[in-house]
Chain A
Amino acid sequence: MASATTTTAATTMTKDVILKVEHLSMRFGGLMAINDFSFEAYRGEITALIGPNGAGKTTVFNCITGFYKPTMGMITMRQKSGKEYLLERLPDFEITKQAKVARTFQNIRLFSGLTVLENLLVAQHNNLMRASGYTILGLLGFPAYKQASKESIELAKHWLERASLIDRADDPAGDLPYGAQRRLEIARAMCTGPELLCLDEPAAGLNPRESLALNDLLQGVRKDTGASILLIEHDMSVVMEISDHVVVLEYGQKISDGNPEFVKNDPKVIAAYLGVEDDEVEDVIAEVEGEEGGLK
């Protein structure tokens, strides 16, 4: 993987950059889904990617996690150890395996016929494969695999407790209620041991109480594992509550980037969400500024 690993010097930013997306473009036939999009996510932070429907958020995610190969641009993942990976050059499964980027899906993708526990064990595939000597030693009953197998169940148990799913461990994943399935998908992604966790609309379809539980889970993940989180979300109560940094995307282009407070009051963002004509943007900006003045 030497080709994918570069040894560029650390950025001059004061914050530690974990993911750097530069000039990312993705074209589907005649449609420019993402156009020259750049942003940075910082280590230990929760970065939110928001934007109206069809803005290209999920496409950005798919480019980062290797499900799409971008038309142009560079995506650099910097691990804690200082190792760097160029994600656009890695096949999708290597991005999880080597670069340690895990993801969840907008429409939940669990292994519905496997039990909750098995779902978490599948996520530890690469570790267990190594421990089982690529199946051969494990098949012959070597103790190393038994030990690793026990540890994997312990890890699964840890995440089941975190996601409050421990009572349902032996039930099929497809039998869980919707909110629990969302939590299980996050727990499963965490079982791969990621440094960057990408969540595609984790709060979609959750009721307010479940949304709050999700906030706690994500805050806990960040605090305890040190994993950074990148999330797409429509639910502003989640975005504004937990994210440290918000990037706004519209028609494949970045229109705003900053802390939640800044983004919330950015006239361009308001225009994008309320949907005004291009020539009215100036009016909206003036209005917003006027309101702020009034409040003061």
Chain B
Amino acid sequence: MSNMTNKLENAGGDLTARALREAFYAGLISLGLFFLFVGLKSDQNILNELILVQRWGLLAVFVIVAAVGRFFVVAYLQPLNARRKASKDAAATTETREGYIKRNFTVIAGVLLILYPILAVALFGVQGSLKWVDNFGIQILIYVMLAWGLNIVVGLAGLLDLGYVAFYAVGAYSYALLSSHFGLSFWLLLPIAGLLAACWGVVLGFPVLRLRGDYLAIVTLAFGEIIRLVLINWTEVTKGTFGVSGIAKASVFGIWSFDISAPNNFAKYFDLPMSSAYYKIFLFYLILALAALTAYVTIRLRRMPIGRAWEALREDEIACRSLGINTVTTKLTAFATGAMFGGFAGSFFAVRQGFVSPESFVFLESAVILAIVVLGGMGSLTGIAIAAVVMIGGTEILRELTFLKSIFGPDFTPELYRMLIFGLAMVVVMVWKPRGFVGSREPTAFLNERKAVSGSFTKEGHG
């Protein structure tokens, strides 16, 4: 017994000694590394002469941080991780039932989303809810829908599309132009915008059918830019960089309108105080319904032969052809279906903003949508939704962090660090979960039990 405690104490002593040793080395290395970078700084004095500023204090801070950090990692973090891993391995054999929240995730998320505007109004009042419903709710849901649409092309069919925003633009301009020229209603133009975007999906699909991998990515990127440049330069129709403004609002199926002057104005009809919040709440439910439609269709399509053919195409195109699958039409339907949802989202975007200009459809948007799909785990709807909340919600939250100004000074604008944090977060997630938040794949059919397919077996597709 005493022997054992002795041993444990010994092990503890060994660990501390090792941690101290490693901390010393880390300090030494960082001293060597930062000596010239941080310790010395070349500067100009008032006479314009080059002088060396010595910053030993700052250098000391760097070295101390490195040494102390290493000490904590070796002494506490590593044993903790090892213990956690051991206990997890032990638990894995006994606990097979998933938690209640995990099992009913979709239902809980759905109910929360439906209650979200009501909660926002209850907590922050009608005017106060605007920010939460519009900036957070609608903004995130638009990206969820776009990423779900792109997921069909990239996640299921494995075709890397860097120009997805083009279809978003087609949908937005279809609604903006057809509504302002012909005065057609949103509910009629929504399917038309989707169809037009799907047509452009096929138009893009045809020339890129023979391309794979990097080449496909470059051509789709170019296609996205072509659409944007056409929107900028075709001024007679699109009004160029000025954009189309004064786009009509959507109505509740024509029963209630949100135009202030209309006799059937929603607020007037219900004798409510005038506020734009009702419209935003209506838009929230609208985009929620559209996103739900996207998810429903995707789930249904995956169980159809066409959805299976998409996934098979991602896994191995040559094998697909050997099984009698027409890869040309299969790829085209993937492009068209993905583009259609992009078009729906686009026309919703136009309705929500009331203004569209080519500036909203830059390459960065495509990149963000693609990043959401990759980060979420290609093919997984839940993962993508989580990724959209993290990425878009995260950037919106940065706007809220005004208290940081008291720390970093009044010049500090957290939004400017958006891309930096974005990139950092992506690197961290990709290191931590290389296959995205949800890396496994749900099979579409099963004989005895539904077992998730580990991400290490699925392929990313090569074009």
Given known pairs A132-B304, A132-B305, A170-B451, the reply for A122 and B323 (CB within 8 Å) is yes
Of B6-14, B57-65, B454-462, the one touching chain A: B454-462
The distance in angstroms between the C-alpha atoms of A157 and B322, with both chains bound, is: 21
Contacts of A102 in B (CB 8 A): 322-323
Residue A222, interface by CB 8 Å:
no
Chain A residue with the shortest CB-CB distance to B453: A172
Given known pairs A92-B321, A122-B309, the reply for A174 and B457 (CB within 8 Å) is yes
Residue A65, interface by CB 8 Å:
yes
Of B73-81, B243-251, B397-405, B438-446, the one touching chain A: B438-446
Contacts of A172 in B (CB 8 A): 453-454, 457-458
Q: Is the CB of A105 within 8 A of B449?
A: no
Residue B219, interface by CB 8 Å:
no
Residue A114, interface by CB 8 Å:
yes
Number of A-B contacts (CB under 8 A): 141
Q: Mark B290-320, 1 if CB is under 8 A from A, else 0.
A: 0000000100110011101101101110111
Supplied contacts A93-B321, A118-B311, 11 more A-B pairs, CB within 8 Å:
A96-B324, A112-B315, A113-B311, A114-B312, A121-B308, A125-B325, A128-B305, A153-B447, A169-B447, A171-B451, A175-B457
The distance in angstroms between the C-alpha atoms of A35 and B186, with both chains bound, is: 65
Residues of A within 8 A of B (CB): 65, 67, 92-97, 102-105, 109-115, 117-118, 121-126, 128-129, 132, 135, 138-139, 145, 153, 157, 160, 166, 169-175, 188-189, 192
The 9 closest A-B pairs by CB, nearest first: A113-B458, A96-B324, A97-B324, A111-B315, A128-B305, A174-B457, A109-B319, A172-B457, A169-B447
The distance in angstroms between the C-alpha atoms of A138 and B444, with both chains bound, is: 15
Contacts of B333 in A (CB 8 A): 135
Contacts of A132 in B (CB 8 A): 304-306
The distance in angstroms between the C-alpha atoms of A122 and B451, with both chains bound, is: 18
The distance in angstroms between the C-alpha atoms of A44 and B103, with both chains bound, is: 52
Residue B406, interface by CB 8 Å:
no
Contacts of B301 in A (CB 8 A): 135, 139
Contacts of B325 in A (CB 8 A): 93, 122, 125-126
The distance in angstroms between the C-alpha atoms of A36 and B187, with both chains bound, is: 65
Q: Is the CB of A188 within 8 A of B323?
A: yes
Given known pairs A112-B457, A113-B457, the reply for A93 and B327 (CB within 8 Å) is yes
Q: Which of A65, A113, A135 contacts B304, CB < 8 Å?
A: A135
Residue B233, interface by CB 8 Å:
no
Contacts of B447 in A (CB 8 A): 117, 153, 157, 160, 166, 169-170
Interface size on B, residues (CB 8 A): 39
Q: Which of A65, A113, A169, A174 contacts B322, CB < 8 Å?
A: A65
The distance in angstroms between the C-alpha atoms of A214 and B138, with both chains bound, is: 58
Given known pairs A93-B325, A103-B322, the reply for A138 and B304 (CB within 8 Å) is yes
Residues of B within 8 A of A (CB): 297, 300-301, 304-306, 308-309, 311-312, 314-316, 318-327, 333, 441, 443-451, 453-454, 457-459
Given known pairs A111-B312, A111-B319, the reply for A135 and B451 (CB within 8 Å) is no
A153: shortest Cβ distance to chain B, in Å?
7
Contacts of B323 in A (CB 8 A): 93, 96, 102, 122-123, 125, 188-189, 192
Q: Is the CB of B457 within 8 A of A169?
A: no
Q: Is the CB of A125 within 8 A of B441?
A: no
The distance in angstroms between the C-alpha atoms of A53 and B263, with both chains bound, is: 84
Interface centre among B315, B320, B326, B450 (most CB of A within 10 A): B315
A–B complex contacts, Cβ < 8 Å, 16 sampled: A96-B323, A96-B324, A112-B459, A113-B311, A114-B312, A122-B323, A125-B308, A125-B309, A129-B305, A135-B305, A135-B333, A139-B300, A139-B304, A153-B445, A170-B448, A172-B454
Q: Is the CB of A118 within 8 A of B305?
A: no
The distance in angstroms between the C-alpha atoms of A139 and B296, with both chains bound, is: 10
Contacts of A94 in B (CB 8 A): 324
Q: Is the CB of A115 within 8 A of B446?
A: yes
Contacts of B448 in A (CB 8 A): 169-170
B327: shortest Cβ distance to chain A, in Å?
7
